[in-house]
């Protein structure tokens, strides 16, 4: 089973609307990261939120973290066509073999 | 400053062959990690190297190996290629040794095994 899982798997909205993606994870974490990937290219780091933070902003991005529910959300406000991409949450496995575990991603399509 | 670079961009091999993928990290970054991303899935961790030592290994067979050079560049080698090895191979670098810290990704090498 996945350490991190995004929901929904796909999301299609109109330009200017807000997009919300969710991520759930299973084990304790020290941080949670969100990445964007455009059409099969490399991933771009968007934001890192630490386990003692509840909310973080970066431009039009807002990330929340609820460690009691083991979940996070990424909100993109006033979406643009250029936001069309896949979005992944990444959670660290810090027990045993340490590694960064990615979910399957949310494929976001912004329609003009 | 240049980002993470990977070569080649695309590669086509046949089953049973061997492949070497290369990665140059961001200047000053001493950690390099490799990920495999199968179409429609998220990246899966293969290896991390820091200061030329292996720091982490994912759940991949021994056909996968890697090394890091004194200039912190890295190679990923895959022997006895299988059809299932077809994927986008991503390299990521980081200034710290923590595999769970922010990773800076290259554009990837698209490997197709026929």
Per-residue pLDDT of chain B (114 residues; tens, 9 = 90+): 689 999 999 999 999 999 999 999 999 999 999 999 999 899 999 999 999 999 889 999 999 999 999 999 999 999 999 999 999 999 999 988 877 788 999 999 999 999
- How close does chain A come to B25, measured CA to CA in Å? 13
In chain A, DSSP assigns E strands to 4-7, 10-14, 19-25, 31-37, 43-50, 55-58, 61-66, 71-76, 85-93, 99-102, 106-111
- B42-75, pLDDT tens digit by residue? 999 999 999 999 988 999 999 999 999 999 999 9
Contact state of A42 with B41 under an 8 Å Cβ cutoff: no
Contact A42 B103 (CB under 8 A): no
Could A100 and B103 be called an inter-chain contact, meaning their C-beta atoms sit closer than 8 Å? yes
Contact check, Cβ <8 Å, B108/A92 = no
CA-nearest of B63, B42, B43, B45 to B55 is B45
Tens digit of pLDDT for each residue in A55-112? 999 999 999 999 999 999 999 999 999 999 999 999 887 665 578 889 999 999 999 9
Give the integer Cα–Cα distance in Å for A75 and A61. 6
A1: confidence class by pLDDT, cuts 50, 70, 90: very low
pLDDT for the residue A28? 84
Which residues of B fall within a CB distance of 8 Å from A33? 102-103
Smallest CA-to-CA distance from A110 within A10, A37, A13 is with: A13
The CA-atom distances, in angstroms, between A54 and each of A9, A50, A63, A99 are: 24, 8, 8, 23
Q: What is the pLDDT of residue A5?
A: 83
Which of B42, B48, B105 lies nearest to residue A42, judging by beta carbons?
B105
Residues A101/B112/B55/A102 CA torsion (nearest 10 deg): -10
């Amino acid at each position: 089973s996945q350490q991190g899982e995004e929901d929904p798997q796909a999301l299609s909205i109109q330009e200017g609307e807000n997009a919300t993606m969710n991520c759930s994870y299973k084990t304790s974490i020290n941080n949670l990261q969100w990445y964007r990937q455009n059409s099969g290219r490399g991933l771009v780091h968007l934001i890192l939120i630490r386990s003692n933070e509840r909310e973080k902003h970066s431009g039009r991005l807002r990330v929340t973290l609820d460690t009691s529910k083991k979940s996070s959300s990424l909100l993109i406000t006033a979406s643009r066509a250029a936001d069309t991409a896949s979005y992944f949450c990444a959670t660290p496995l810090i027990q045993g073999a340490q590694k960064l575990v990615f979910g399957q991603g949310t494929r976001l399509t912004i329609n003009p | 400053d240049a980002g993470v670079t990977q070569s080649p961009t695309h590669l086509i091999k046949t089953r049973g062959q061997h492949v070497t993928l290369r990665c140059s990290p961001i200047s000053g970054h001493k950690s390099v990690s490799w990920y495999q991303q199968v179409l429609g899935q998220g990246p899966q961790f293969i290896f991390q190297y820091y200061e030329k030592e292996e720091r982490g290994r994912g759940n991949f067979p021994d056909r996968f190996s890697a090394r890091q050079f004194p200039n912190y560049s890295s190679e990923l080698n895959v022997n006895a290629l299988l059809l299932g090895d077809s994927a986008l191979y991503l390299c990521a670098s980081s200034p710290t040794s923590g595999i769970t810290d922010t990773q800076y990704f290259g554009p990837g090498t698209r490997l197709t095994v026929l």
